Every structure is written in structure tokens, then in C-alpha cells.
Amino acid sequence: MSFEFPLLSLIIWLPIVFGVAVFATGDDRNAELARWIALIGSVLGFLVAIPLYTNFDSATGAMQFLENHIWFERFNVNYHIGVDGISMPLILLNCFITPLVVVAGWDVIKERVSQYMGAFLVMSGIVNGVFSSLDAILFYVFWEASLIPMFLIVGIWGGPNRVYAAIKFFLYTLLGSLLMLIAFIYLYHASEGSFSIENYHKLAIPMTPQILIFIAFLLAFAVKVPMWPVHTWLPDAHVEAPTGGSVVLAAILLKLGGYGFLRFSLPIAPDASHYLAEMMIVLSLIAVVYIGLIALMQADMKKLIAYSSVAHMGFVTLGFFLLNAYGIEGAMVQMISHGFISGAMFLCVGVLYDRLHSRQITDYGGVVNKMPVFAAFFMLFAMANAGLPGTSGFVGEFMVIMGAIKVNFWYAFLAATTLIFGAAYTLWMYKRVIFGAVASPAVESLRDISKREFGLLAILAISVLWIGIYPFPLTEVMHATVDQLLTHVSNSKL
């Protein structure tokens, strides 16, 4: 499909330009202006992303909305962007979350507003760049650049232990990605001077280099996802990050890792993927079961949700390495759904935290008496997090379990335990926070959610229910791409 207008570039650069404009408003005297520019920028960013969906041709697995220009000739690096059924939904998710984050920080952030809002907008553009890059170096530049705003967001507006969390987040991610860079450079020489990702897909690579490449990619993506045992940065970062930071981290940044597996690991090193699939499945199952148990024991709400994110993302990697259509499509749905649910869960905790400045479960109790509307929303998201049928959380998990049972009954069995553990830790937390008698005078003084908060949660609630009841518009766009990916992966490249 030819689409002359550089739509993708607009989707990438519009938020960045607005972000710079927000920075330019200067210090907190212009905070109101900064907020409005940020809101306009993020909403426009979402609006311009809609044609990506409406003009998307879901009959083909090929790249669409292509743009290709020379970036620097010296190493044959191109500004080559395009989307397929895997990246398009993720871009939409990102553009959808950004305005919510801006609104979520509207009243809460009072210091250095322009820098806060600007950082989120710039990050939104950078993440769109990651999802649409078809050139390895362009991808790498966007990938690493996305660290910078998040590092500052956690470090400046975070909690008491923010410095530790921010630096840990940065160095962990950097470690993985530097080895990925070496893999790219190796592929550049192996492909005789090309950084095109699509060329890498076609490139024949012997088994040993394939395994090494796979491991280099694995380190980069496993840290981002995060997979067990390199997940330890996530709870720290989540706990310290401001609400908006947590939302973006869980909803968007974790998806970069999952996306990386589909765009790089599987198609570039298919033989290594088959060879190491069992290891990946075991690691994913550990994340699902063991991290699920850890989540049960958390006293801090944000930490609990962070661990539940690790467990849910374990489902995503499990789905990928089952290497069948149910698994991969289920994992994709799970990524999108996790974006909505974890974002909503963090927003809910943020609502409570803004009022009581505590994230400890024991400081709450009986919140439903004072905040009935909030309790209803929180209920829905908690159920979705536990994977209740009818919510988006169920669709992805169910598809992945279906995929798993085709491969091995015990994989499916262990994966299905998440329905128990997920329900246990989420609902137990919900019970202790929301139900019971009013726990303290502080809880007594709580006011129910404002219109702004209601709007935010309502939008997310609709999304969660919509994907739970009618996931077809989402699965439809990725069918062709996933089929093509599977055919590709099943052919040996040795």
C-alpha cells in the first residue's frame, strides 16, 4: 500500500517537537502553559496515530507505511521505518497511554512541571521510533535514547530511594543493549555492509554465531521485559518512580523487550530459538510461578504490582517461545492488555498515594466506605489483573495456555497456576486495602476520585472490557504478520 504522506515520521517527531516546546516554557511560573502544551501535544500524537490503524492493510504481513532515506552513508545506515501487525498495535498503545500520563500528573506534579511533561512527550516519540525502526542502528539509537527520559523521571520525581533505582535501571538496561550493539555490528559484517533488519531476517548464519547472537539479544531484551533472573531492577524502579513513570514503565517500556524478541531474536536466529526454546520456556515459567508467589508476600502495593508485571510478562515470553500461532498471538494480546491493566493498577495506587502518601497495604483498610466509585474501578482492574473472563487479561492468558497445551501438558499446567496465584495476590491485596472497617483517621478523611481521575480510569476500564469481550480488531491486524513470522521461523537458516 502506498501512502505518500510521511505518517510514521509525524507520529515519531510530533511528540518530540511538542516535548521540546514544553521544555522551552521554562520554570514553574509557566507551569499551566506547560501542562496545556503537553496535553495538546499528547492528544495530537494519539490522533495522528489513528490513521495508522484505519489505513492498515491487515491482509499482508509485509512492512507498511515505509519511509527510507539515507542517514549516514559511511556505514550504510538508513532512516528506514515501517510497521507491521506486531509493531502497529504497540505504537497505538504508546500514543494512547501518553495523554493519560500527562493528565495523571496534572495536579500531582508541582515542581519542574515543564521538565516532567516534556520528558514524557519526548519519550513517547522515542518509543514510537523504537517500534517503527527497520534499521538496526536507528533502532539502537531510539532504544538507548529511551533510557534518558526515564532515568531523569525516576531520579527527579521519584521516592526516597530514587537515585539507587534510577542508576540501577540505567546500568542494567545498558548492559544488555551494549551486547546487542556488538551483535548488530557482527551482522553488519556478516551481511557485507547492511544494517537493514529485513536483510538480517534473510541472512544465513551458522549455528554457533546464531546462538551467540541469540544470547546477546536475549540479554538486551530479557532485562527490558524483564525475565527472571534479571528482573530485580523493576520493583526498585517501580516503587521509586512517580505514578506517571510507573505507568509508562509498565505499560510501554516493558513491551520494548517483548517486541525485540519478535523483531530480532526469533527471525534472525530461528535455529537458536528452537534450540534454546526449552530454556526460555523454563525461565518464563519460573517467572510465572515463582514471581507470582513472591508477589503474594509483598507489603508494598507498588511492589506487588511490579512483581505481578514480571509474572504477566513471563506469560508473554512463554507465548513467544511456544513457537505456535496461539502462543505468539496470545502473547501479543497479553502485551497490549498488560499495558492497559498495569497502567490502570498503577494509576489506582497513585490515586491512593496522592491522598495518604503511603503505599503500604497495612496503612489502608475500609477504603470502600469513603471512596465507593474508586473501589468499583479498582475492582474491575484487580479482576482483570487476575485474568477474569470478560476482561482483556483473560484473552491473552487463555490463548497462551492453549498454545502451551499443544506443546506440553505440564507447561500448560504450570502456566495455568497463574490464574490461582494472580487471583490470590491481587484479590488479597484488594481485600486488605478496600474492604473491612475504616482502618485509621487518615482513611476516614479520604475523598472519592475527582472528575479528572474518573475520566482516566473510565477510559482504561472501557479498553480493558473492550479487548476482553471483542478482541477481534486487535487479533485481526496481527494475523498475517504472525503467520509470516511463524513460517519464517520454521525454516532453518543454517
What part of residues 116-145 is at the interface with other proteins (CB under 8 A)? 137, 140-141, 144-145
182 binds other proteins, rule: CB under 8 A: yes
* Interface characters, 96-115, with other proteins (x: CB under 8 A): ----------------x--x
27 binds other proteins, rule: CB under 8 A: yes
How many residues at the interface with other proteins, by CB under 8 A? 36
Residue closer to other proteins, measured from CB, 52 or 152: 152
Q: How far is the CB of 407 from other proteins (least distance, A)?
A: 34
Q: How far is the CB of 174 from other proteins (least distance, A)?
A: 6
Q: How far is the CB of 175 from other proteins (least distance, A)?
A: 5
Which residues is 83 bridged to in the sheet? 64
* Interface characters, 454-483, with other proteins (x: CB under 8 A): ------------------------------
Residue closer to other proteins, measured from CB, 136 or 467: 136
Look at residues 143, 148, 145, 149 and name the one whose alpha carbon lies nearest to residue 121: 149
72 binds other proteins, rule: CB under 8 A: yes
Residue closer to other proteins, measured from CB, 189 or 451: 189
Q: How far is the CB of 151 from other proteins (least distance, A)?
A: 8
Burial 217-229 (b: 16+ CB within 10 A, else e): bbbbbbbbbbbbe
188 binds other proteins, rule: CB under 8 A: yes
Which residues is 360 bridged to in the sheet? 300
**Single residue of 20, 33, 167, 480 touching other proteins by CB under 8 A:** 167
427 binds other proteins, rule: CB under 8 A: no
- Only one residue has cell 546487542, namely 180
Burial class, 483, CB count within 10 angstroms (exposed 0-12 / middle 13-18 / buried 19+): middle
Cβ neighbours of residue 301 closer than 8 Å, sequence gap 6 or more: 349, 352, 359, 360, 361, 429, 433
Q: How far is the CB of 385 from other proteins (least distance, A)?
A: 32
Stretch binding other proteins (CB under 8 A), from 185-193, 245-253, 443-451, 468-476: 185-193
Stretch binding other proteins (CB under 8 A), from 66-74, 298-306, 425-433, 470-478: 66-74
Footprint of other proteins (CB under 8 A) = 26-27, 71-75, 112, 115, 137, 140-141, 144-145, 147-148, 151-152, 155-156, 162-163, 166-167, 170-171, 174-175, 178-179, 181-182, 185-186, 188-189
